[in-house]
Amino acid sequence: MAAEQSGPRNEFRNFMTKTTENNSGDYIEDTEPATLNAMPEEEETEFESPESEPLTFELDWSMSDERLDKVLSRLMPDVSRARIQSWIESGAVLVGGADPGSVRRKVGAGEVITVRPQPAPEDLAYRPRGGIEFEVVYEDDSVIIVNKPAGLVVHPAAGHWDDTLLNGLLFEYPDLARIPRAGIVHRLDRETSGLMVVARTEKAQTDLVRQLQARTVGREYWALVLGVAPEAGFVDRSIGRDPRNPLKFCCRGGQGSKSAKTHCRLVDTTQIAGRTVSWVACRLDTGRTHQIRVHLTSVGLPLLGDPLYRTNASKMPEEAGVVASFPRQALHASRLRFVHPGSGETVEWFVPPPEDMCEVMDELGFGPLDEPVHVFD
């Protein structure tokens, strides 16, 4: 174990000032569930794509020699031109029964245009989709325990309307269509791997959300950070949007910030290419967006590979090999513990990191990787 240093390490150890903000369990961020009242009630349980009746337009002389997309924008003023262009390019628009070939195609008087309106991407958000890979670690009548791979978005949002864990769950478990948010009660960042619990009944979902709000759910993460971490400590700092970058969050107070607390324990530390890398286990009291990434960065311990929060100073030299080339934040949700909503018994699961993170940890000499570290027990 490396000797204690001054600077960020001591700040991490000694930062124990309580915040005075209300921390009443608002779990609408990316790593936590919405409160019970905030969960949307889904009235529809049918998720098949709607069959849109085709629309037919016969052009008069006033539209002669005009571009197809421009003509359709005039005929369908409530539909954006960009969306009309996407319909043309996808084959949903025919001119005289044939593919027009281009949005720029000129049309003439007397030609007949047939349009089959297509759903907007956001309309696909709560529809099932096959081919989405995730591991089911355990399932029963009340819960499903999922090992989410890195790279998979949990919940539909802009840019990922139908390729998320939620869409995959609806495909594999159609009955989840009856449950708000398809039973999802907490989230992980896209590039964070690991354990999540999904409720199979509304009763189970209500129970799990209340446990999360009461902070009795045990969620342990493994993180690889640059720097010498202290043996134990916690960060208790409010988190809000970074005013300089809308994609990032930062530790700050004031309007829009939310209280957040992360407990940390050092598991191991090593040197590679002249840099110190620490294996840290983290437990959350709260679950704000990017919480572990923001908190550890704020005390001088940025996560290895984090493309959003790393700086030039935190980049690994090329001679570190696979450690330097790791393309995402080295963060994995390794353990999950809660009171089973059906049996009332305390249940727990552990999964090791995915292969790419294990390769990095092997290179660093960390291990064993196939069992919990028990630093919080």
User: What residue ranges define each of the domains in the chain, with the CATH number in brackets?
Assistant: 8-42+124-364 (3.30.2350.10), 55-118 (3.10.290.10)
| Of 253, 171, 220, 207, residue with least CA distance to 331 | 220
> Given this model, what pLDDT does residue 372 score?
92
> Given this model, what pLDDT does residue 223 score?
98
Please say if 69 is a catalytic residue: no
> Given this model, what pLDDT does residue 99 score?
94
Judged on CB neighbours under 10 Å (0-12, 13-18, 19+), 353 is buried
> Given this model, what pLDDT does residue 36 score?
36
For 69-104, b where at least 16 C-beta lie within 10 A, e where not — what string? bbbbbeebeeeeeebbbbbbeeebbbbeeeebeebe
Helical ranges in the chain per DSSP H: 8-14, 68-75, 81-89, 165-172, 202-213, 291-298, 322-325, 355-364
CA dihedral 306, 307, 312, 316 (to 10 degrees): 50
Instruction: Locate the DSSP E strands across 92-217.
Output: 93-95, 106-107, 112-115, 135-139, 143-148, 193-199
For the residues of 29-85, what is the DSSP string, one character each? STTSPPPTTTSPP------SPP-PPPEEEE--GGGTTEEHHHHHHHH-TTS-HHHHH
- SS3 assignment, position 72: helix
175 vs 164: CA distance, rounded Å: 17
* Count of beta carbons in the 10 Å neighbourhood of residue 219: 25
Mean pLDDT by runs of 10 across the 377 residues of the chain is 35 33 30 36 30 82 90 88 90 94 92 88 80 97 98 90 95 94 94 98 95 94 96 95 90 90 97 96 93 96 93 84 94 98 97 98 95 88
Check residue 160 and report its DSSP letter: B
Q: Is this prediction's pTM over 0.85?
A: no
The region that residue 344 occupies, defined by phi over 0 for left and psi between -120 and 50 for alpha, beta otherwise, is left
Q: Kindly state the tokens that stand for 58.
A: 């016969």
Q: Residue 58 carries which side chain, given as an amino acid letter? A: E
338 vs 344: CA distance, rounded Å: 9
Let me know: does 154 contact 185? Beta carbons within 8 Å: no
**CA-based angle 87:88:94, to the nearest 5?**
110
> Given this model, what pLDDT does residue 23 score?
31
Cis peptide before 368 (omega within 30 of 0): yes
| Of 264, 348, 255, residue with least CA distance to 300 | 264
91 vs 102: CA distance, rounded Å: 10
What values do phi and psi take at 284, rounded to 5?
-105, 135
> Given this model, what pLDDT does residue 153 score?
96
The answer for residues whose C-beta is within 8 angstroms of residue 44's C-beta and 6 or more apart is: 126, 177
Q: Which of 189, 207, 236, 306 is catalytic?
A: 189
313 vs 239: CA distance, rounded Å: 23
